[in-house]
Chains A and B, each alone.
Chain A
């Protein structure tokens, strides 16, 4: 009987393995190689960037440590406290005096290194602290549960051993993001494999993306989830929405929702896309049209509902974690729709006459373009202003070439206008949700959470811009433009690494 059951399990396993192998084989080798390049690059960044000199890395580490040690996510608290071992590491790494002060370097002297090693040997506490309850206490636990694995692998080592392995896990997620961007481009722009490679490599060497990907930060998994969503949407628009695709889309959205609250900004776009796909497939809106969208949304929301139940019954956390995050609304603040829209305008573009200017006179350039071109460390490590101005030239050239590609194929575009509208709306709604979170913070305590990394879930669209630019160059010049785009991306990444090296080590 037992032998028979074993035999059955074996036979079931073999086809599953074959299916998995076939699935892996279906992904082009170029996609794997782009992902590998992104992983290697992010790993290099993880070695170059000093420990905890990435926004909130100390809090992300603390959350993962809390989850690994206590088997549950932290509870929102008024202020962050850390375990003894993390406190010792932060003190000896000069965390507080290095961040925000570009003229203060990392550990330069052998005696500082000796002190760090001695203190990490002596201070072993890993259970203390509240897991960064103030910064992240309400955030969902998926990324941290994944990071708890490398944490446990290095459980016998020091904070720095664990951090190194956890950064490596983030770098893997960065590789996965680029793989999915490649697949997205393959579905979006079929027929020109060269442009998929250019787009994916352009993303792989985007320095802000690699910098975040080489750190412990839940954004790394959010980027991968967003890239998966864009890929699956493009696939559904090209091949039709099947049950399998609806479940996959729901699962990718669920990963995003269980990773970071910012993923909520993707849900309206995904819902819109599902509706558009289902209506197109059924030729109209009937009750049965909603079957697949409902299935996808059920899959997307099920884990969040389970988390909600666990929050209330087991973990003693607020039912909806967002109520303890940057999205927290309270009786003392009174957000309004006109106020939110006006703030969103000022947040991204430039304040109109009569508007306040919470982010300066030209946020589009000063915060978003500058941030995307590259501001590192705790948003204090930057190039001279001239570099950001110069970056406008290649950015404008890319936009012009991409526009030319769209114009040249306007007939084909007309046939795909719903799909393009869905991508544009998804991007817009996501950007509005980022502004919305900042608006709430602005009303609560006059802070503005404007960092370019918050928009990197839209990287697949940046990859599409690069791929379109290659097409816009025309058949004759496409190889030249493609090579120039990748060379520029590599140079951009290389000089960003030098900037960070000069900031912390010279």
Chain B
């Protein structure tokens, strides 16, 4: 009994530590995998991609690729999000630095609602020595990103990010809502039922162990 209580305490402690860890969570992606280089940004070239969807609550946009090369520093990227229907700018940002393969631009203003959009990327300082590459996957020309009206080989990956780092505790309502989608009877009940089932099975196992001993 004492052992079980100790184990339960250790497990609860582990869960608290893991779930209290704060990080910036994705609010959405365009689901493009990373398999090829799609675009090479040089000089004043601007690469745009249609068929995007803004995600409400997003405050940053993360691109994957490579910057610099040949000794040149990784250049800053200028990102613009446009309304797909009107072409009006919805948000802008600059990814000033790269973290590994990622360049993250904080968007101003943050995205308030979901709507079809176009995402455009260019070098923030066209005169910078090094260029940058964007990674994504091949796609038919009609769906590909384009540069100067000419379709490229595919689509680049776009990840929408939340405003600030959040612990799993504060992010739990979002996870509960997402778990509830894609099911026969969608809704928050799915995550709650899963939690209840897991808790019941654990309680049953514990009771059985105590009784058997």
Select A483's contact among B168, B194, B201, B209, beta carbons within 8 Å.
B209
Contact of A104 with B194 in the complex, beta carbons under 8 Å: no
Contacts of A36 in B (CB 8 A): 201, 204
Q: Output the least CB separation between B159 and chain A (Å).
A: 7
Judge whether A161 is part of the interface by a CB distance below 8 angstroms.
Answer: yes
Q: Output the least CB separation between B90 and chain A (Å).
A: 16
Closest A residue to B183 by beta carbon equals A160
Judge whether A487 is part of the interface by a CB distance below 8 angstroms.
Answer: yes
Select B213's contact among A94, A479, A506, beta carbons within 8 Å.
A479
Select B200's contact among A40, A484, A504, beta carbons within 8 Å.
A40
Select A487's contact among B7, B181, B212, beta carbons within 8 Å.
B7
User: In residues 45-63 of chain B, which contact A (Cβ within 8 Å)?
Assistant: 53, 55
Contact of A201 with B114 in the complex, beta carbons under 8 Å: no
Judge whether B205 is part of the interface by a CB distance below 8 angstroms.
Answer: yes
Contact of A113 with B3 in the complex, beta carbons under 8 Å: no
Interface mask (A462-506 → B, CB under 8 Å = 1, otherwise 0): 000000000000000001101110111011011101100100111
Contact of B212 with A490 in the complex, beta carbons under 8 Å: no
Contact of A486 with B209 in the complex, beta carbons under 8 Å: yes
A359 and B213 alpha carbons, distance in the complex (Å): 44
Contact of A484 with B3 in the complex, beta carbons under 8 Å: yes
Contacts of B197 in A (CB 8 A): 40-41, 43-44, 47
A119 and B48 alpha carbons, distance in the complex (Å): 30
Judge whether A116 is part of the interface by a CB distance below 8 angstroms.
Answer: yes
Select B201's contact among A41, A106, A117, beta carbons within 8 Å.
A41
- Summarize B's interface: helix, strand, loop or mixed: helix
Contacts of B27 in A (CB 8 A): 108
Contact of A48 with B4 in the complex, beta carbons under 8 Å: no
User: In residues 172-196 of chain B, which contact A (Cβ within 8 Å)?
Assistant: 174-175, 178-179, 181-184, 186, 190-191, 193-195
Q: Output the least CB separation between A141 and chain B (Å).
A: 25
A36 and B201 alpha carbons, distance in the complex (Å): 8
Closest A residue to B33 by beta carbon equals A101
Closest A residue to B192 by beta carbon equals A47
Contact of A113 with B198 in the complex, beta carbons under 8 Å: no
Contact of A111 with B53 in the complex, beta carbons under 8 Å: yes
Select B202's contact among A51, A116, A490, beta carbons within 8 Å.
A490
Judge whether B25 is part of the interface by a CB distance below 8 angstroms.
Answer: yes
A495 and B212 alpha carbons, distance in the complex (Å): 26
A158 and B3 alpha carbons, distance in the complex (Å): 47
Select B178's contact among A111, A157, A490, A505, beta carbons within 8 Å.
A505
Closest B residue to A45 by beta carbon equals B194
Closest A residue to B35 by beta carbon equals A101
Judge whether B14 is part of the interface by a CB distance below 8 angstroms.
Answer: yes
Contact of B33 with A161 in the complex, beta carbons under 8 Å: no
A495 and B26 alpha carbons, distance in the complex (Å): 21
Judge whether A292 is part of the interface by a CB distance below 8 angstroms.
Answer: no
Q: Which of B31, B55, B171 has the most CB of A within 10 A?
A: B31
Contact of B181 with A483 in the complex, beta carbons under 8 Å: no
Contacts of B28 in A (CB 8 A): 108-109
Contact of A103 with B183 in the complex, beta carbons under 8 Å: no
Contact of B8 with A487 in the complex, beta carbons under 8 Å: yes
Closest A residue to B7 by beta carbon equals A487
Judge whether A33 is part of the interface by a CB distance below 8 angstroms.
Answer: yes
Closest B residue to A205 by beta carbon equals B205
Select A37's contact among B14, B179, B201, B211, beta carbons within 8 Å.
B201
Contact of B198 with A497 in the complex, beta carbons under 8 Å: yes
A157 and B181 alpha carbons, distance in the complex (Å): 17
Q: Output the least CB separation between B137 and chain A (Å).
A: 9
Judge whether B29 is part of the interface by a CB distance below 8 angstroms.
Answer: yes
Judge whether B18 is part of the interface by a CB distance below 8 angstroms.
Answer: yes
Contacts of A97 in B (CB 8 A): 31-33
A104 and B206 alpha carbons, distance in the complex (Å): 36
Contact of A197 with B208 in the complex, beta carbons under 8 Å: yes
Judge whether B22 is part of the interface by a CB distance below 8 angstroms.
Answer: no
Interface mask (A215-245 → B, CB under 8 Å = 1, otherwise 0): 0000000000000000000000000000000
Contacts of A94 in B (CB 8 A): 31
Select A494's contact among B10, B15, B33, B55, beta carbons within 8 Å.
B15
A350 and B159 alpha carbons, distance in the complex (Å): 39
Contact of A160 with B182 in the complex, beta carbons under 8 Å: yes
Select B208's contact among A113, A201, A205, A505, beta carbons within 8 Å.
A201
User: In residues 168-193 of chain A, which contact B (Cβ within 8 Å)?
Assistant: 193
Q: Output the least CB separation between B1 and chain A (Å).
A: 8
Task: Tell whether A494 pairs with B159 under 8 Å between CB atoms, given A109-B55, A158-B184, A483-B4.
Answer: no
Contacts of A37 in B (CB 8 A): 201, 204-205, 208
Q: Which of A94, A111, A161, A201 has the most CB of B within 10 A?
A: A201
A238 and B43 alpha carbons, distance in the complex (Å): 81
A105 and B28 alpha carbons, distance in the complex (Å): 8
User: In residues 352-399 of chain A, which contact B (Cβ within 8 Å)?
Assistant: none
Closest A residue to B197 by beta carbon equals A44
Contact of B208 with A30 in the complex, beta carbons under 8 Å: yes
A109 and B18 alpha carbons, distance in the complex (Å): 26
Judge whether B125 is part of the interface by a CB distance below 8 angstroms.
Answer: no
New A-B contacts (15) at CB < 8 Å, excluding given A44-B197, A109-B53: A33-B208, A40-B200, A47-B183, A97-B32, A100-B33, A107-B182, A111-B53, A113-B182, A116-B181, A486-B205, A486-B206, A487-B7, A487-B8, A505-B178, A506-B175
B interface residue numbers (CB < 8 A to A): 3-4, 7-8, 10-11, 14-15, 18, 25-29, 31-34, 53, 55, 114, 159, 168, 171, 174-175, 178-179, 181-184, 186, 190-191, 193-195, 197-198, 200-202, 204-206, 208-209, 211-213
What are some 23 contacts across the A-B interface (CB < 8 A)?
A34-B205, A34-B208, A40-B200, A44-B194, A50-B182, A97-B33, A104-B29, A104-B31, A107-B181, A108-B55, A109-B55, A160-B184, A164-B183, A204-B201, A204-B205, A205-B201, A483-B209, A490-B11, A497-B198, A501-B179, A505-B174, A505-B175, A506-B174
| Complex A-B, nearest 8 residue pairs according to Cβ-Cβ distance, in ascending order | A487-B7, A44-B197, A40-B201, A107-B181, A97-B31, A483-B3, A47-B194, A505-B178
